[in-house]
Amino acid sequence: MQIAEGSTTAIVDVKNVSYSYNNSFSSSIILNDISFKVKEGDFLGIIGPNGAGKTTLFQCMLGLLKDYDGEITIFGEDTRRNKLVLKKIAYIRQKNFIDRSFPATVNEIVSLGTVGIKALSKEKEEDKILSVIESVGLFEYRNKRIGQLSGGQQQRVLIAKALIADPALLILDEPTTGIDQSTQDRFYALLKSLNHEKNITIIWSSHDLGAVNKLANKVACINKNMFFHGNAYEFFENEKLLKAYSESAMQAHMQLHLNKNPNSSNSNNNGNNPTYS
C-alpha cells in the first residue's frame, strides 16, 4: 500500500505480534498479541520494565527476528521480506556495545552511515559528514577516537551516523542507559529538535517516565502484553494507569527476582498485568 507523504496513515503498523523463545527444555512468551500504529511525525515512547519485551519488539520490527507471529509493516513493507525499506530507518541501541579500543575516529564512524546508501561524490559526502557531526555538537571531536569520548558523546556519534542517511524513522532502544543526567538532557533536546524541526518519526524505549512525559506525544506500555497505547497525556494524567504501571513494573521485577532465586518463599502469580483500556 502506498503511503502518501504527510498523510495520517500509519507508517508503522504492528498487528497481533507474538514471539516466544523456544528451546529443547522450555518455552517462554516474550511478546503476546502486541498491536499499535505509528503515524508520520509521531514521537512514541515505549515504556515497560526490564524483560517486558521492548528490545524483542524492536528486533521483530527491524526484521532481525523473523519467526514471530502476526504482521509488521513499515512504510507499507514487511521488513522480513523487503530489506530496502530499512534504508529509511535508523536504529540506535545502548552504547554499551562500543569497544573502547576500537581504532576508529568520530569521522570514520559517522561515515559508516553512508555505507549501502546512494553514493554521493567524495566531496559532498565529506561535507555531509562534517555537517552532521556539527549538528550533534561534536565538530571539535571529529578526529578523536570514539573510545576517547564520554558515554553521552558516543551516543551522539551514533545519532550522527544514523542521521547521515536522512532517515524518516528513528528507533532508539534505551539510548541513555549509563549516561549522566545533564548529558541525557542534552540528548533529549536533540531528539526533540529532530522530531519537531525535521519531522523525523521517533520510536523510543525508555525507563525515564519524566522524559517520556516531556517529549512523547504517544505512549505504549508493554509487559509481554500491550498494557496501554494512546496519547501521552491520557496516560500521564491518569493516576490509576500510572499506579497500575508501577504495580506491573514491581511485579515484573519480583518475577525476575524469583526466576533468579527459585527457592524464595515469596510466591507470586504468573506476572499477569492488571488491564486498563
Partner 1 sequence: MQHALISGAAISLVCSVVGLFLVLRRHSLFGDAMSHVAFGGIAIGLFTKVYPIWTAFIVSVLAAIGITKLREFTKIPADSAVALLLSSGLAVGVVLISLSNGFTLDLYSFLFGSILLISIQDMVTSIALCAAVLIVISIVYRKLMYITFDEEQAKVSGLDVGKLNYLFVVLASITVITSIRLVGVLLISSLLVIPNITAMMFGKGFKKTALISALVGVFSVLSGITISYVTNLAPGGTIVLISIGTFLATVASKYSMMLIKGKGEKLVTSMVDQKQ
Q: Report phi then psi at 42, rounded to 5.
A: -70, 155
Among the listed residues 65, 72, 80, 68, the one whose alpha carbon sits nearest the alpha carbon of residue 20: 68
Q: How far apart are CA 240 and CA 12, in angstroms?
A: 29
Instruction: Choose, by CB under 8 A, the member of 18, 32, 35, 105 that binds partner 1.
Output: 105
Task: List CB contacts of 151: < 8 A, sequence separation 6 or more.
Answer: 95, 178, 179, 180, 183
Note whether 145 binds partner 1 by CB under 8 A. yes
Among the listed residues 15, 48, 59, the one whose alpha carbon sits nearest the alpha carbon of residue 34: 15
Instruction: Choose, by CB under 8 A, the member of 96, 116, 119, 150 that binds partner 1.
Output: 116
Q: 69 with 80: CB under 8 angstroms?
A: no
Of residues 102 and 139, the one with the C-beta less far from partner 1 = 102
Instruction: Choose, by CB under 8 A, the member of 37, 39, 80, 93 that binds partner 1.
Output: 93
* Sole window of 2-10, 43-51, 111-119, 202-210 interacting with partner 1 (rule: CB under 8 A): 111-119
Instruction: Choose, by CB under 8 A, the member of 101, 263, 265, 277 that binds partner 1.
Output: 101
Note whether 133 binds partner 1 by CB under 8 A. no
Task: List CB contacts of 184: < 8 A, sequence separation 6 or more.
Answer: 152, 176, 208, 211
Of residues 165 and 249, the one with the C-beta less far from partner 1 = 165
Q: How far apart are CA 89 and CA 224, in angstroms?
A: 24
Note whether 112 binds partner 1 by CB under 8 A. yes
Residues 53 to 72 in contact with partner 1, rule: CB under 8 A: 62, 64
Which residues bind to partner 1, rule: CB under 8 A? 62, 64, 83-84, 86-87, 89, 91, 93, 97, 99, 101-105, 107-109, 111-113, 115-116, 143, 145, 165
